[in-house]
Amino acid sequence: MRLSRYFLPVLKETPAEAQIVSHRLMLRAGMIRQASAGIYSWLPLGYRVLRNIERIVHEEQARAGHIPVLMPTLQSADLWRQSGRYDAYGPEMLRIRDRHDRDMLYGPTNEEMITEIVAAYVNSYRSLPLTLYHIQWKFRDEMRPRFGVMRGREFLMKDGYNFDLSKEAALHAYNRHLVSYLRTYERMGLQAIPMRADSGPIGGDYTHEFLVLAETGESEVFYDSEVTDLTFGDRDIDYDDWDQCQGVLEEFTSRYARTDETHDEAVFDKVPEARRRSARGIEVGQIFYFGTAYSESLGAFVQNEAGERVPLHMGSHGIGVSRLAGAIIEASHDDRGIIWPEAVTPFQVGLVNLRQGDSATDAACHGIELALEKRGLSVLYDDREERAGAKFATMDLIGLPWRITVGPRGLEKNVVELTSRRTGESEEMSAEAAIDRVAGIYGLAP
């Protein structure tokens, strides 16, 4: 993609309304535009990041055996009357009336709707276990939408729902989600710590939130510092194996780690003092087991092996997809701008032409652009007639992890410069070597 033809409305000034760094950088890098309070348009650069986050979520859900669907954003109030949540949900629910005076709502979550679907089609234990999920926009009329996409009113969520024959099977689904979430966040370059939490309007008392530690986080958390030493890494987990998934749960949740809602000073005091931490965190996901409440109220029953009609055991599991774009920036930036992890970067490599209009330099850049694309890499080529300093500032702001810089002086010696956004280190090498190096970093075949 050539920057001269792209739509990248970067801002020079720091927007006054943005209080935290990720919000400032998302506005300055032209990723989002506020449409109204807590509601955002995703501009091209931001949209590419959002799609990358979604792709990782889908890949990890597939690995765990969960099945994607897509449910609508608008729901009928009647479904929510059946579960008893229509009145209970309160002013956070956006209520809408259609032309026939039917009560509708913009879904804040989908337990009712997915349970109705499963109730309609699933009759036998032989169809279980079953986990369905979607990535869809939600609306919660938050009292204080703030920090950009971090606490929006409209936001993108991955929400998944497991249906199982027994509590034991549903707890396996819970553990499986915990494992797959650990993998999902780590792939995005984040350490998200599962912490014991409060279940809020979803219900049930078995729940963990996943928190990314950050000073600007909205949640107050308390934990044993040993939890920050844990990494999931590239373990080969069999998601069908009860013991393996349970083992991961125990490893990652046996130490003290709680949000303020469930914090207990007396229990915390038992953690050796040198390891006690209180900090702030960004909640990037939450998993729940809540039993049979929704299946009983919405009629999701199956025949078990003994021929008895029993309600399904359920849980729901959410990832804050749009919030993650902000959380990743909170975790990875410097004073010049964003530093994207390779896994979610909007373009894999930036290409800077230091002498736009010089025919030899233009031709060399064009050749490199084509060669990178041929290798399957996404490239943002800054072909504007701008000073080098302005081009570097834009590249640093938008945070592409790798930059290839091409100028007439280098070309005389047959070299270009390859620069890491993270370390700031540059190396001179031939264009071919730079292309090979970048392709190798992204795991593309030579």
By CB under 6 A, name the binding residues for ligand 5CA: 109, 111, 140, 142, 151-152, 155, 157, 159, 202, 283-286, 316-318, 320, 322-323
Closest CA to 92 of 115, 114, 109: 109
- Residue 206 beta carbon to ligand 5CA: minimum distance, rounded to whole angstroms: 13
- Residue 50 beta carbon to ligand 5CA: minimum distance, rounded to whole angstroms: 12
- Residue 18 beta carbon to ligand 5CA: minimum distance, rounded to whole angstroms: 16
Which residue lies nearer to ligand 5CA by CB, 155 or 256?
Answer: 155
Which residue lies nearer to ligand 5CA by CB, 332 or 419?
Answer: 332
Four-CA torsion 103, 104, 110, 112, nearest 10 degrees: 20
Which residue lies nearer to ligand 5CA by CB, 38 or 346?
Answer: 38
**Nearest to ligand 5CA by Cβ — which residue?**
320
Which residue lies nearer to ligand 5CA by CB, 152 or 346?
Answer: 152
Core vs surface per residue 388-402: b (16+ CB within 10 A) or e: eeebbbbbbbbbbbb
- Residue 146 beta carbon to ligand 5CA: minimum distance, rounded to whole angstroms: 10
Which residue lies nearer to ligand 5CA by CB, 42 or 392?
Answer: 42
DSSP 37: T
Which residue lies nearer to ligand 5CA by CB, 197 or 365?
Answer: 197
- Residue 49 beta carbon to ligand 5CA: minimum distance, rounded to whole angstroms: 15
Cite the beta strand spans of 244-401 per DSSP E: 257-259, 276-291, 301-303, 309-311, 313-320, 333-334, 337-338, 349-353, 379-382
Strand partners, 279: 221
**C-beta separation of 341 from 351 below 8 A:** no
Other Cβ atoms within 10 Å of 270 Cβ, number: 10
CA distance 253 to 69: 30
- Residue 122 beta carbon to ligand 5CA: minimum distance, rounded to whole angstroms: 19
**C-beta separation of 267 from 256 below 8 A:** yes
